[in-house]
């Protein structure tokens, strides 16, 4: 099952006679397509859910969308070219899903965690035409992989959440990265939770409530 750019798993939509909304899941560094897909049983049945696997193998049998590097002082950098390539392939994935799974090309929700969150934010801000909702969990905005679209960005709805005790993607850095959205007058919902790098039950409940309102 791989006519898409990435290996993937699918939960079919309850909608059978017309194109369904697409929910595309993008996991974090070192994880895989099963991670966010564990949410699928709780998510609205109208969505066709497609969870994709990163193209890069990482230690511990996981996957990533782009390589991350640390110098001897612990400073982090990453492969920008690889990140942009993954960003663009996610756009192709959305287009291919409309053909393979009869999803509505103009009704896509992106859900990402950590590295996947950084990536889906870049997809939405670079290619907003087919994107409606963005669920950005424990991630951030990185302008170096965004070519800000000249198209109208007001159709984008962002749900962004972060743990205040996150040591992987520190809360302060993540919050500061939202300045990019403020500077471009992009509206978003931002929630914080007293947890580390993860999604607590309260976070999931709030995200689900937000998403259910968007599906109506």
Q: pLDDT tens-digit profile of 60-97?
A: 889 999 998 888 777 888 999 999 999 999 999 999 99
- DSSP class of residue 19? P
**Confidence at residue 58, expressed as pLDDT on a 0 to 100 scale:** 94
Cα distance between residue 75 and residue 95, in whole Å: 36
* Phi, psi (degrees; rounded to nearest 5) at 189: -100, 125
| Cα torsion 65, 12, 103, 205: sign | negative
The predicted model scores a pTM of 0.95
pLDDT in tens, 36-60: 999 999 999 999 999 999 999 998 8
DSSP lists the bridge partners of residue 162 as: 192
pLDDT in tens, 140-189: 999 999 999 988 898 999 999 999 999 999 999 899 999 999 999 999 99
The domains of the chain, with CATH numbers, are: 8-215 (3.40.50.1820)
**Residue-wise DSSP of 43-61:** S-TTSEEEEE--SEEETTT
Nearest to 101 by CA among 32, 40, 215, 23: 23
**Confidence at residue 77, expressed as pLDDT on a 0 to 100 scale:** 85
**Within 10 A of 82 (CB to CB), how many other CB atoms are there?**
16
Q: Which residue stretches of 4-79 are H helix?
A: 34-37
Query: Is the separation of the CB atoms in 156 and 121 below 8 Å?
Result: no
Give the C-alpha distances (Å, rounded to integers) separating 104 from 47, 97, 156.
10, 9, 16
**Confidence at residue 1, expressed as pLDDT on a 0 to 100 scale:** 46
The distance of Cα 139 from the centroid of its chain, to the nearest Å, equals 9
Q: What is the dihedral of CA 20, 105, 81, 62, to 10 degrees?
A: 10
Cα distance between residue 37 and residue 3, in whole Å: 19
């Amino acid at each position: 099952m791989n006519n898409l750019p990435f290996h993937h798993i699918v939960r079919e939509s309850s909608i059978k006679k017309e194109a369904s909304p697409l929910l595309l899941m993008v996991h974090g560094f070192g994880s895989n397509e099963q991670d966010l897909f564990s949410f699928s049983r709780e998510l609205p049945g109208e969505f066709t859910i497609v969870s994709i696997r990163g193209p890069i193998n990482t230690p511990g049998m996981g996957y990533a969308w782009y390589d991350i590097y640390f110098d001897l002082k612990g400073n982090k950098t990453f492969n920008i070219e690889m990140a942009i390539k993954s960003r663009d392939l996610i756009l192709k994935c959305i287009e291919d899903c409309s053909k393979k799974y009869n999803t509505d090309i103009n009704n896509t929700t992106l859900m990402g965690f950590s590295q996947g969150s950084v990536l889906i934010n870049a997809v939405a801000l670079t290619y907003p035409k087919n994107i409606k909702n963005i669920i950005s969990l424990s991630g951030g905005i990185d302008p170096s992989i965004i070519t800000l679209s000249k198209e109208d960005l007001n159709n984008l709805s962002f749900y962004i959440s972060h743990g205040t005790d996150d040591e992987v993607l520190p809360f302060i850095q993540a919050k500061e990265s939202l300045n990019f959205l403020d500077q471009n007058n992009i509206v978003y919902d931002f929630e914080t939770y007293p947890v580390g790098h993860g999604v607590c039950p309260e976070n999931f409940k709030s995200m689900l409530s937000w998403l259910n309102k968007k599906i109506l």
